[in-house]
Amino acid sequence: MMFVLPTLEWWTIAPVVILTLTGCLVLVVDLFRGDDASPEPLAWLTTGGLAIAIGTSVSLWGYEAQAAFSGMVVADNYTQYFTVLFLVIVGVTVLLSFDQLTKEDFHPGEFYSLIVFSAVGMVLMASAADLIMVFVGLELLSICLYILTGFSRRRLESEEASIKYLLLGAFASGFLLYGIALVYGSTGSTNLGCVARAINPASTFAMFGCGTGSVAGAATSGLLLAGVAMLVVGLGFKAAVVPFHMWAPDVYEGAPTAITAYMSVGAKAAAFAAIVRVFMIAFPTLSHDWSMILAILAAVTMIVGNTAAVSQQSIKRMLAYSSIAHAGYILVAVVAASQVGIASLLFYTVGYTVMNLGAFMVVILLGRRSEDHLLISDYAGLSRRHPVLAGLMALFMLSLAGIPPTVGFVGKFYIFTAAVQADYAWLAVIGLLSSVISVYYYLRVVYQMYMVDPVAGVEPVTPLRWVTVAAGVAGFAVVALGVFPHGVLALASASSTFIR
């Protein structure tokens, strides 16, 4: 048997290695501490590991794309862009969860190591150059999230959300895997670049680690198309795209609020990172077949997400449907299937992260006594009690609705422009119309805060200092990115060069 030693370019996965070691370290350190030791040292340990990983990832920016570990992962700007985004999200989640962690006595060791391991999964999804890696990263993320969702042991809803997420998530994984198996069967490879070459020998994605040797060219077949369709189901589930979104509202409502914030931005961005890689690298030549399907899914997602959000009473549930609708907007950028489209997707992901995390920060600041104060009617007269928080919440709501001069407006503008350029004007029109619906329910919160008299007897809470600062930073970023989007756009554009 001929054995070729795989070359190990450790630097390509340096952030993953650092994160893994951080997670293990947190777990071990926690084992050798008392049962009621403060979670603070672990939080600092986690944050330190995240900071080192972010620094490593930033220092890897700008290198030529390189596949590593026999074409399993690829390190390029796209990877680093998403890595930094994911790790910042995880860092914010560590900050947001701290209060709930101490009050509801979560096990800090497990909590922090799980959240770090889920970050490993997300980074692997963004750097995957092989369907095996997509699957492993997705499962690593999902398994950690199943546990984190059920972390509020005192609340039955949390546990219910956990089992619903697990049963439906595992079901969707089955579809994803069957899709991968069919793609492998019809193309003879699981490497994204090799799959592309098997479908169309002219395509060159050498940077994805597919050798120049001949591939088992099977061209287009029903088997392959069935595989692609199942990949749409499996990945669409993770991104909460209608009609695979049924889990999202329940899971978002039941999970601890910090984890809801984490899932609504982190897991969604990771799912789209993988969707872009899989569909843009492996199946660009099949785009006639999948772009119409994805376009219809995007349209349905925007319409259903926005209309269902209108009737919600709980702010977490409302934000859950809103995040479904935003998955629809992001999917429009995938449908555009151009470099411009992907650059706008990358930009919108950042913008959506900032505004959605900001909204959740305000929710957490107000609902401190373990998951109360979560109805929209609880926000009545907030501007009298907490003028600053009310102002920030109004800003985040306006941005989510896409009103200028916020990042929500700029991001939607670029996505819909890309859609029109790619000849999907009807999709842009549906997007615009459905975001008009969204203005109604976002402004309902603003209306409650400013126009409705406060309920008697509601005491103001003392806001947590660091979360308030973070919300202020998010509010600043929402406006700053809305007025000066060019810096992030340039990064997004440089990250999407792998698409031709």
What does the binding site for another protein look like in residue numbers (CB under 8 A)? 1-3, 5, 24, 27-28, 31-32, 132, 135-136, 139, 142-143, 146-147, 150, 156-157, 159-164, 166-167, 170-171, 173-174, 177-178, 180-182, 184-185, 188-190, 216, 249-250, 253-254, 288-289, 291-292, 338-340, 343, 414, 417, 421-423, 486, 489-490, 492-493
Nearer to another protein, 335 or 397 (CB): 335
Tell how strand 73-75 and strand 66-68 pair up.
antiparallel
Least Å distance between CB 385 and another protein?
28
How buried is 284 (Cβ within 10 angstroms: 0-12 exposed, 13-18 middle, 19+ buried)?
middle
User: Are the beta carbons of 160 and 254 closer than 8 angstroms?
Assistant: yes
Token digits of residue 454: 């406060």
Nearer to another protein, 42 or 395 (CB): 42
Nearer to another protein, 1 or 456 (CB): 1
Nearer to another protein, 37 or 136 (CB): 136
Least Å distance between CB 86 and another protein?
21
**DSSP annotation string for 418-436:** HHHHTT-HHHHHHHHHHHH
Nearer to another protein, 75 or 251 (CB): 251
Nearer to another protein, 150 or 328 (CB): 150
Least Å distance between CB 109 and another protein?
9
Least Å distance between CB 48 and another protein?
20
Least Å distance between CB 394 and another protein?
27
Phi, psi of 130 (to 5 degrees): -145, 145
> CB-side exposure of 34: number of CA atoms within 13 Å?
3
User: Are the beta carbons of 270 and 121 closer than 8 angstroms?
Assistant: yes
Residue 25 Cα distances to 18, 43, 137, angstroms: 10, 12, 20
Nearer to another protein, 292 or 455 (CB): 292
Least Å distance between CB 403 and another protein?
22
Nearer to another protein, 31 or 202 (CB): 31
Least Å distance between CB 206 and another protein?
19
Least Å distance between CB 267 and another protein?
16
